[in-house]
Chain A
Amino acid sequence: NAGVMQNPRHLVRRRGQEARLRCSPMKGHSHVYWYRQLPEEGLKFMVYLQKENIIDESGMPKERFSAEFPKEGPSILRIQQVVRGDSAAYFCASATGNEQYFGPGTRLTVT
Chain B
Amino acid sequence: QKEVEQNSGPLSVPEGAIASLNCTYSDRVSQSFFWYRQYSGKSPELIMSIYSNGDKEDGRFTAQLNKASQYVSLLIRDSQPSDSATYLCAVETRGGNKLTFGTGTQLKVEL
Chain A positions within 8 Å of B, measured between CB atoms, are 1, 31, 33, 35, 41-45, 48, 55-56, 58-59, 91, 95, 98-105
What B residues does A99 contact at CB under 8 A? Answer: 34, 46, 49
Chain B positions within 8 Å of A, measured between CB atoms, are 32, 34, 36, 42-46, 49, 51, 88, 90, 92, 95-104
Closest-by-CB residue of B relative to A59 is B98
Number of A-B residue pairs, CB cutoff 8 Å, is 59
- Which listed residue, B42, B92, B101, touches A43 by the CB 8 Å rule? B101
Contact A102 B96 (CB under 8 A): no
What B residues does A102 contact at CB under 8 A? Answer: 36, 43-46
Query: Please, how many angstroms separate the alpha-carbon atoms of A32 and B101 in the complex?
Result: 17
Min C-beta distance of A39 to chain B, whole Å? 12
Min C-beta distance of B45 to chain A, whole Å? 6
Min C-beta distance of A2 to chain B, whole Å? 10
Chain A: interface secondary structure? strand
Contact A33 B97 (CB under 8 A): yes
Known: A98-B32, A102-B44, A103-B43. A48 touches B88 (CB 8 A): no
- Which listed residue, A48, A58, A101, touches B46 by the CB 8 Å rule? A101
Min C-beta distance of B24 to chain A, whole Å? 14
What B residues does A43 contact at CB under 8 A? Answer: 44, 88, 90, 99, 101
What A residues does B46 contact at CB under 8 A? Answer: 1, 99-102
Min C-beta distance of B56 to chain A, whole Å? 13
In the complex, besides A42-B104, A99-B46, A100-B46, 13 extra interface pairs with C-beta distance below 8 angstroms are: A33-B97, A35-B99, A42-B102, A43-B88, A45-B100, A48-B96, A48-B98, A56-B96, A100-B97, A102-B36, A102-B44, A102-B45, A104-B43
